[in-house]
Structure 1
Amino acid sequence: MWTRASAGVVPGFLLAAALVGLVSWLLPGSWESTMLVGLTVFFPLWIGVVCSAFRFSSGARAWGWLSALALSVLGLLWLLQLSGWVR
């Protein structure tokens, strides 16, 4: 149980932050104008990810999937920035 909870807290935080950053960058306008909405949405999204970590059958699976999702979204953000699509 504690391994699933920690998987929701640590990589879940990164996943929620990356998703909020991705949406903030892809919305029209500057990313600064979307940050208030992003900060408002971040906490409920993070809690949702923490709760979804308990749906996995083991802590190792939760850590694996949530870490892989967080790294892939963070990698997508990095590629978007590197390609110049977002500033």
Structure 2
Amino acid sequence: MWARVSAGIVPGFFLAAALVGLVSWLWPGPWESTMVIGLLAFFPLWIGIVCASLRFSSGKRAWLWLGGLALFAQGLLWLLQLSGWVR
């Protein structure tokens, strides 16, 4: 159980941050206007990911899935910034 919870806490944090960042950057208008809403949405999203991590059958699967999703989302943020779509 602790492996699944830690998978929700550590890569789940980065996954939640990347998802909030993607929404903030891709929302029309300046991303600064979504800062407060993003900060308010971050914590419930992170807690939801921690709760969802308990649905995995093992800690290894939770770490692989959540870690992979976090890397993918962070990589997508990096590619968007590198391509010049967002600043």
| TM-score interval, smaller chain | over 0.9
Which deviations, in whole Å up to 9, do the C-alpha atoms of 1:46-74 show, x marking residues without a partner? 00000000000000000000000000000
Query: How many angstroms does 1:4 deviate by?
Result: 0.3
1:61 aligned partner: 61
Q: Please give the TM-score of this superposition, normalised by the length of structure 2.
A: 0.99
Given residue 71 of structure 1, which amino acid in structure 2 is its aligned partner?
L
Could you list the structure 1 runs, at least 4 aligned residues long, displaced by more than 4 angstroms after superposition: none
CA distance in 2 between counterparts of 1:74 and 1:5 reads: 21
Percent of aligned pairs sharing the same letter: 76
CA distance in 2 between counterparts of 1:71 and 1:19 reads: 11
Where 1:10 maps in the other structure, the secondary structure is helix
Query: How many angstroms does 1:7 deviate by?
Result: 0.2
1:13 aligned partner: 13
Q: Which runs of 5 or more structure 2 residues have no equivalent in the other structure?
A: none
How many positions carry a matched residue from both structures?
A: 87
Given residue 10 of structure 2, which amino acid in structure 1 is its aligned partner?
V
Q: Which runs of 5 or more structure 1 residues have no equivalent in the other structure?
A: none
CA distance in 1 between counterparts of 2:12 and 2:77 reads: 16
1:74 aligned partner: 74
Given residue 73 of structure 2, which amino acid in structure 1 is its aligned partner?
V
Given residue 25 of structure 1, which amino acid in structure 2 is its aligned partner?
W
CA distance in 1 between counterparts of 2:36 and 2:30 reads: 12
